Amino acid sequence: MQAAPAQTQHAPLAPHATVPTDQACRDRLGRPLRDLRLSVIDQCNFRCTYCMPKERFGRDYPFLTAQQRLSDTELLRIVRAFVGLGVEKVRLTGGEPLLRKGIEALVEAIASLRTRGGKQVEVAMTTNGSLLARKARALRDAGLGRVTVSLDSLDDGVFRAMNDVGFPVARVLEGIDAACAAGLAPVKVNCVVERGTNDAQVLPLVEHFRGSGVTLRFIEYMDVEGPRGWSQSRVVPSGEIRAMVERAHALLPVARRDAETASNYLLADGSLKLGFISSVSHPFCGDCTRARVSVDGRLHLCLFATSSVDLRPHLSAHRPAEALAEAISQAWQARGDRYSELRAESRAERLASGKRQYPTVRMSLVGG
């Protein structure tokens, strides 16, 4: 396992209780800007084979330096601008967000912002859970509302092989328990299913989380920049995963809420809520209301976009806050990305050529 990276010392945060107001911001396809996914670090203590394979993300990999990473004050400025444009939910991600020093202070500052409607901004986090057992309570106290923990297997051998740093599954399970005990509810558990690697773990995960209050979500393996060996044949479509569950349990569909990425089901006895995220087999670009900002201050309009907008020129202390909001708003209004839909439309062609047709960006930089 790698040690937590050193961080620069940042000035104390100055949270603001109010934010500037603006009109609702919609992109070219009419999708409103609703959520922000903020990647707070590009490094990780895992080397999940589907995200940061060791052979590509080795010791000499050029991760962002401390100087290239935005300070908490700069990140907060960005969040404030998004909130002013109507964003109400901020998800912190990475790399591994809990490796960022002082993450609790950042959570606290974001949670102290108010939406345009005067509500507290919702702060959530996606984490690999490795440091959650000791941090869950402090994060909750800082204002974190919800947490999603990635967990691909209950079998320790399979889990260690997938995180590829030999991290034991028991410690992630402790983290999930600590998150539940701290009230970071509803705790969600995300499992990326890869054919031939962990597809036999679907039912054990279902059985393990029945009655726990946790929502279990299965994610199709995506062709993001990172995994070298991605191929369509290693994707287990959600329909197939659901059929595996249905051989053991009856499922009841749950109505989908607006802009929700998962199709949700309940085990008929009510003991577990399940979600299926079908970004490969059933893309949901039409509902994609999420902006992503990486820790180097770049705005990514799509998980698969190769170009991004540099927000750093608008972050200096003498630039007005409005300039940053204007840059974000303009970029969003010009957005027409719908990569997953295009991929689905061109699948036959791609399968014939055996190649990906569209370039992608590093998942550990943009944060999923």
Provide the 3-class DSSP secondary structure of residue 216: strand
The C-alpha atoms of residue 171 and residue 127 are separated, in whole angstroms, by 13
For strands 263-267 and 298-300, give the pairing: unpaired
> Of 19 and 361, which has the nearer Cβ to ligand SAM?
361
Single-letter code of the amino acid located at 280: V
Q: Is 180 annotated as a binding residue?
A: no
222 binds, among ligand SF4, ligand SAM, none (CB under 5 to 8 A by kind): ligand SAM
The C-alpha atoms of residue 281 and residue 239 are separated, in whole angstroms, by 9
Q: How far is the CB of 127 from ligand SAM (least distance, A)?
A: 5
> Of 150 and 294, which has the nearer Cβ to ligand SF4?
150
Residues that bind ligand SAM (CB under 6 A): 44, 50-51, 93-94, 96, 126-128, 150, 190, 192, 219, 221-222, 224, 227, 363-364, 367-368
Residue 94 is a binding residue for ligand SF4 (CB under 6 A) = yes
52 binds, among ligand SAM, ligand SF4, none (CB under 5 to 8 A by kind): ligand SF4
Q: How far is the CB of 253 from ligand SF4 (least distance, A)?
A: 21
219 binds, among ligand SAM, ligand SF4, none (CB under 5 to 8 A by kind): ligand SAM
Residue 95 is a binding residue for ligand SF4 (CB under 6 A) = yes
304 binds, among ligand SAM, ligand SF4, none (CB under 5 to 8 A by kind): ligand SF4
Token pair for 52: 């940061």
Pick the closest to residue 52 from 214, 227, 170 (CA basis): 227
The C-alpha atoms of residue 317 and residue 78 are separated, in whole angstroms, by 12
Peptide bond connecting 186 to the previous residue in cis, omega within 30 degrees of 0: yes
Q: How far is the CB of 54 from ligand SF4 (least distance, A)?
A: 10
Residue 304 is a binding residue for ligand SF4 (CB under 6 A) = yes
Strand partners, 290: 35
Binding letters toward ligand SF4, positions 322-341, x by CB under 6 A: ---------------xxxx-
Contact in structure between 216 and 243 (CB atoms under 8 Å): no
Per residue in 308-318, is it b (16+ CB within 10 Å) or e — as a string?
Answer: bbebeebbeee
Contact in structure between 332 and 291 (CB atoms under 8 Å): yes
315 binds, among ligand SF4, ligand SAM, none (CB under 5 to 8 A by kind): none
Q: Is 292 annotated as a binding residue?
A: yes
Beta strands in 163-230 (DSSP E): 188-193, 215-220
Single-letter code of the amino acid located at 170: A
Q: What is the DSSP secondary-structure string of 265-282?
A: EEETTSS-EEEEE-TTTS
Binding letters toward ligand SF4, positions 153-182, x by CB under 6 A: ------------------------------
Q: How far is the CB of 231 from ligand SF4 (least distance, A)?
A: 19
Residue with the CB atom nearest ligand SAM in the bound state: 368
Single-letter code of the amino acid located at 258: D
Q: How far is the CB of 52 from ligand SAM (least distance, A)?
A: 8
The C-alpha atoms of residue 340 and residue 16 are separated, in whole angstroms, by 37
Pick the closest to residue 226 from 182, 159, 178, 164 (CA basis): 164
Provide the 3-class DSSP secondary structure of residue 44: coil
Q: Is 44 annotated as a binding residue?
A: yes
Beta strands in 5-48 (DSSP E): 35-39
> Of 78 and 222, which has the nearer Cβ to ligand SF4?
222
Query: Can you tell me which of 39, 148, 150, 201 binds ligand SF4, judged by CB under 6 A?
Result: 150
Residue 148 is a binding residue for ligand SF4 (CB under 6 A) = no
Q: Indicate the annotated binding residues for [4Fe-4S] cluster.
A: 44, 48, 51, 285, 288, 302
Q: Indicate the annotated binding residues for S-adenosyl-L-methionine.
A: 50, 95, 150, 222
Residues of this chain that interact with ligand SF4 (CB under 6 A) are 44, 46-48, 51-52, 94-96, 128, 150, 283-285, 288, 302-304, 337-340, 364
